[in-house]
Amino acid sequence: MVFPRPPVRPGSPVRVRTPALAAAVALVALAGCGTGGGLTSDGPTPTAVGPVRLWPELPPASDPPVDYGETDTERVPGIAVRNGDVRTVDPVAVVRAEVAAHPDTYSGADGMYEETARAILACDTAPAACPVLSPYYRDLTGNGRDELIVGIRMPEQQVAVRVYLAERGGLTRVMSTVDQVISVELAGKDLIVRAASAGIPGYEYRTAWSWDERQHSMLPARDEIVPVRTPPERTPTQTPERTPTQTPERTPERTPPRTPTPALTPAPEPAP
């Protein structure tokens, strides 16, 4: 058995072993190699299979055919953020500013249904019909401050999810997506969107949006198709019928038999 030599730190004193001490250490090492509790083999190591590139003669793509706008960011006009705190801004005012900046945009990152835009403008007078959902706050960029997460209800069971970053005294939208959302979840610094799949029944899309420092935006870092998560069925437990408890009849108390009192015999009168 070979013991690794401990590294010597710069500036630390070096100890010199005497021959007797070195021999004693060697005997202990040899004695320990034959004892139980040592290293055991787990069997042969499986052969690693590396990736195989198919059609290596294909030239690399130069430009993508379609731009989906994952990295589109935009400064929200007219919104000031005090002390870099996104909690000081009104989410409805933020969405209204974007609608006013793009009044005729019905697709893309700024797309908005016409009826949704009208409902957003009427949030003050008809708050029950306001499509802007309650905001959430989470540090998604790792800058130590919370970002603003806004959801907007749209027709056909669609929900728009937008994330805003406070910087330079204002707001920058760093994420925007619209889909038939099943749920939106926060996991660490990831924003996970579960959406319905129209073409594959029984499955759903699950996209994890993560902050990318180089693009200065939230990117769909992981996109997958997974089976629908159905809650386990609860087996109904049959409650046994309760048998009415019968109150036992009260046993009358037994009165002990009375012992007859002996008759008193008059004492004889004394003789004269």
What is the residue-wise DSSP string for 21-41?
A: HHHHHHHHHHHHHTSSS----
Question: What single letter denotes the amino acid at residue 234?
Answer: R
Q: How many angstroms separate the CA atoms of 223 and 179, rounded? A: 14
Map out the domains of the chain as residue ranges: 74-227
**In the structure, what pLDDT confidence band is assigned to residue 67 with cuts at 50, 70 and 90?**
low
Residue 167: phi, psi to the nearest 5? Answer: -160, 145
**pTM of the shown model:** 0.65
- Mean pLDDT (the chain) is 78
Whether 40 has a pLDDT exceeding 60, the answer reads: yes
What pLDDT sits at residue 10?
40
Strand order in the sheet with 203-212: 181-187, 190-196, 203-212, 217-227
The predicted-structure confidence for 136-189, as pLDDT tens digits, reads as follows 999 999 999 999 999 999 998 999 999 999 999 999 999 999 999 999 999 999
Q: Average the pLDDT over 221-237 and give the result.
A: 78
What pLDDT sits at residue 246?
52
The 10 Å Cβ neighbour count of residue 243 is: 6
What pLDDT sits at residue 230?
73
What pLDDT sits at residue 261?
47
Q: How many angstroms separate the CA atoms of 117 and 113, rounded? A: 6
**In the structure, what pLDDT confidence band is assigned to residue 194 with cuts at 50, 70 and 90?**
very high
Which tokens hold the place of 185? Answer: 């979840």
What pLDDT sits at residue 214?
93
In percent, the amount of the chain with pLDDT more than 90 equals 50
Numbers of helices and strands, H then E, in the chain: 3, 9
Q: How many angstroms separate the CA atoms of 113 and 126, rounded? A: 18
Helix segments in the chain, DSSP class H: 19-33, 91-101, 114-121
**In the structure, what pLDDT confidence band is assigned to residue 241 with cuts at 50, 70 and 90?**
low
